[in-house]
Amino acid sequence: MQQLKLNRREEEYLEAMLFLEKSKGKIRVKDLAERLGVKPPTVVEFLEKLAKKGLVDYKKHSGVSLTPLGRRVAEEVYKRHLAIKKFLMMLGVPEDIAERDACYIEHGISDESLRLITLFIEFVENCPGDLPRFLRHFRYYVEKRVWPPDCPHRREGRIEREDKVVSSACPSPVCLAAAPSPRNTKRPSGP
């Protein structure tokens, strides 16, 4: 079966329809227009396009509903949205900004990136005890812009790796991967 390719706006309509169905029990053109910030005639035109793709059942003055395919797509988009929003909030992004950014990111994220974000969330939420130490350290760093005093990798001076040089930083793979390349950095001389 060929995968259905939808554009961002189509996904937004389906997700908004799912939201309205869950929150109000039914989908009305007026509510959909309000939620998407468009006029009702624009919604009607778009619903007709989605109906031709088999994603919604729509007939003028008869109501709107998601087809089983439309529901699956809408639930997948919503699942991406929730995962991205939760991930951003774990990083310390305020909820209103995380909500807005998730709306933007959810339409372009790769399956692999989403899979890893979902696994990361699962790991953090199910990690025994408190937040994992690296996440506490990250939040401390974001707030104070200095390394936490109890960071086990905190060192003075430079940390070297074959292809990277990082000064006064944590030697984790994440930090080292973000370091400047050796072509742009002078290596220290001596032992």
**What would the two tokens of residue 135 be?**
């996440």
**What are the structural domains of the chain?**
8-72 (1.10.10.10)
Taking the model in full, what pTM does it have?
0.68
Helix axes 8-24, 40-52, angle to 10 degrees: 110
**What would the two tokens of residue 75 be?**
């639930």
Distances (CA, A) of 189 to 158, 160, 162, 165, 186: 12, 12, 14, 13, 9
Predicted confidence pLDDT, tens digits, the chain (191 residues): 346 788 999 999 999 999 999 999 999 999 999 999 999 999 999 999 999 999 999 988 778 999 999 999 999 999 999 999 999 998 889 999 999 999 999 988 998 999 999 998 888 888 767 777 778 888 888 888 888 887 766 654 333 444 444 444 444 444 444 444 443 334 344 44
